[in-house]
């Protein structure tokens, strides 16, 4: 009996010692002293002005922030070490730099402007301004340079050589646009965003727009009914006038062309300016032509025309509105 009792006492002692060891060795919790505080400021290298809204990113750490109105940024909980930092801002060159977050002082970075080519902006065919390459519908833009290189008898003739675009003509001065085989009231024609409604019903009515007054033409190929109504089944053609010129400038231009078949002569004079917030544009055009001729019937009588055009605008821009 005595030997059995001694064995029980030893077992109890061993169990108590094991429990004491388990309580003495708790896991070591990480301390906040390992985190690094990192900050800096971004400015324009040319002007020294702060750059608000710039992005500062650590790609390896999946952390980033944006600069405030004074161009400053900060990170409060970065691990210590050497990491790649990327700085981007619209219109400036990107900076990629390796940073030691534990020892680096407050950074003062200067960004240099980037010489980037901005894509042409189109406002037709979508609900807001967008770049041409991002337009969700097939879009073609014909600028003033291409229009000047085309000696056309009317504004539709000037764009008829564009792929997918053709015309129906009944004489030298009358042309109707055709987009992918559809024309007349299936094509919407806009003049600075306003519908041109006088050409789609009669065969002897053309587009009443002076081709010399057009700065560019935007052509949408495909249905545009949601934006321009049910008659935009084939597409939309938007003719846009030049934008107002810069403050303190006055410009003038003179344009002329001549065609040998019907001896058509076209003359156009323009004057525009912007002085002390008052801006204006005045243009006058005269076109005259005789009867044209073809190799089958010779002269087509009563096909000549005499056309006068005038357009312009005035505006006032002041601090009060």
pLDDT at 22: 41
- Find the mean pLDDT for residues 55-79: 87
Q: Which pLDDT does position 309 carry in this prediction?
A: 93
Distance CA 114, CA 91 (A): 6
Asked if 224 contacts 176 with a C-beta cutoff of 8 angstroms, the reply is no
Answer with the residue of higher pLDDT: 297 or 311. 311
Asked whether the whole model's pTM tops 0.75, one would answer no
Paired tokens of 311: 């357009």
The mean pLDDT of 174-203, rounded to a whole number, is 82
**So what's the pLDDT on residue 168?**
87
The 3-state DSSP class for residue 292 equals coil
Residue 65: strand pairing partners: 56
User: In 142-165, which positions are buried (b, 16+ CB within 10 angstroms) versus exposed (e)?
Assistant: beeeebeeeebbbbbbbbbebeeb
Distance CA 18, CA 48 (A): 68
Does domain 34-111 correspond to CATH entry 2.60.40.1120? yes
Helix, strand, coil abundance in the chain, percent, nearest 5 = 15, 45, 40
Residue 121 has pLDDT above 70, yes or no: no
74-118 pLDDT, tens digit each: 888 788 888 888 999 988 998 888 888 877 668 889 999 886 555
Report pLDDT for 161. Answer: 86
Q: Which of 81-90, 128-137, 311-320 has the lowest mean pLDDT?
A: 128-137
The full set of domain ranges for the chain reads: 34-111, 121-240, 249-316
Q: What kind of architecture, by CATH, is found in domain 121-240?
A: Beta Complex (2.170)
Instruction: Check whether 181 has a pLDDT greater than 80.
Output: yes
């Amino acid at each position: 009996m005595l030997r059995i009792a001694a064995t029980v006492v030893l077992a109890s002692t061993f169990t108590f010692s094991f429990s004491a060891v388990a309580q003495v060795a708790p896991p070591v919790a990480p301390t906040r002293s390992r985190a690094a505080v990192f900050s800096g400021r971004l400015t324009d290298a040319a002007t020294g002005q702060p750059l608000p809204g710039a992005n500062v990113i650590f790609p390896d750490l999946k952390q980033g922030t944006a600069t405030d109105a004074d161009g400053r940024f900060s990170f409060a909980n970065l691990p210590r070490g050497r990491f790649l930092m990327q700085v981007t801002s619209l219109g400036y060159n990107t900076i990629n730099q390796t940073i030691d977050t534990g020892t680096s002082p407050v950074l003062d970075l200067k960004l240099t402007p980037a010489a980037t080519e901005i894509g042409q902006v189109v406002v037709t065919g979508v609900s807001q301004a967008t770049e041409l390459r991002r337009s969700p519908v097939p879009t073609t833009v014909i600028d003033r340079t291409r229009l000047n290189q085309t000696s056309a008898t009317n504004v539709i003739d000037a764009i008829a050589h564009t792929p997918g675009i053709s015309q129906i003509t009944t004489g030298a001065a009358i042309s109707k646009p055709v987009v992918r085989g559809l024309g007349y009231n299936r094509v919407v024609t806009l003049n600075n965003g306003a519908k041109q409604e006088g050409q789609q019903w009669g065969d002897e009515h053309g587009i009443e727009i002076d081709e010399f007054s057009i700065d560019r033409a935007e052509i949408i190929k495909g249905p545009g009914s949601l934006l321009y109504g049910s008659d935009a089944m084939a597409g939309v053609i938007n003719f846009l006038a030049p934008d107002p010129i810069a403050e303190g400038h006055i410009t003038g231009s003179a344009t002329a062309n001549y065609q040998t078949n019907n001896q058509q002569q076209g003359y156009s004079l323009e004057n525009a300016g912007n002085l002390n917030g008052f801006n204006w544009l005045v243009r006058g055009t005269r076109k005259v032509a005789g009867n044209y001729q073809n190799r089958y019937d010779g002269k087509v009588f009563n096909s000549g025309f005499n056309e006068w055009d005038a357009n312009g605008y005035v505006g006032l821009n002041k601090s009060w509105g």
